Amino acid sequence: YVEDQTITPVRDENGEVAHFVSVKRDITRRKRYEEAIVHLSRHDPLTDLPNRRVVEEDLVRLLARAERGLPSALLLVDLDNFKEVNDRSGHGSGDSLLRAFARLFLDAVRPGDLVGRIGGDEFVILLEGAGAEEARAVADRVRDRAAALATPEGYDGPAVGASIGVALVAGHAQPADVLATADAALYDAKSEGKGRVSVRTRPAPPRSGSWKA
């Protein structure tokens, strides 16, 4: 347990310290509550994956390492036809499917790789030390496993899978630039059809609109 301790000196009639009085309190519950608040500020409450804040902090570290020659890659994963699950089977089924995809992504990567959820049906996978070929191989594996994931019982809509945009970290200045390049690659993948993987090796030029429109 965690305790809070206050020690107070007690002086005699001559002003000398005669002894000390210690008061202790068990603050384990308070500390656990504080830790839970910190955890919630950095993790998605539904899947318990790191949130956008953590992803961007990790990207800052990967950008610094990229300047020293260590390759890394970011995978931006969007679930195909996920809205159909919410519309046809309800948000409870959609939430269960999101948690299942979160476990799938964690199982598909190395133990040290970061998997985060940055909102809705969008996930991010950070691959430290991965070049273009390895990142593409991981993206293909994630895509194939996503296509094989079982949908909720009773769901009769189109298949749910994943489209993935891959951005290499090197050459970017800020975390937002890496995410923008991955988003542009995801736009390319969506334009080619669902369940595709597209890789961008250079920072993406600004573009108007969004593939979600």
**Which residues have a catalytic role annotated?**
121
The neighbour count for residue 139, using CB atoms within 10 Å, is: 28
H or E segment at 117? strand 114-119
In angstroms, the CA 186 to CA 188 distance is 5
Cβ-contact 178, 145 below 8 angstroms: no
3-state secondary structure at position 139:
helix
Closest CA to 23 of 48, 42, 4: 4
- At a CB cut-off of 8 Å and minimum separation 6, what does 77 contact? 105, 122, 123, 124, 125, 142, 146, 162, 163, 164
Cβ-contact 156, 162 below 8 angstroms: no
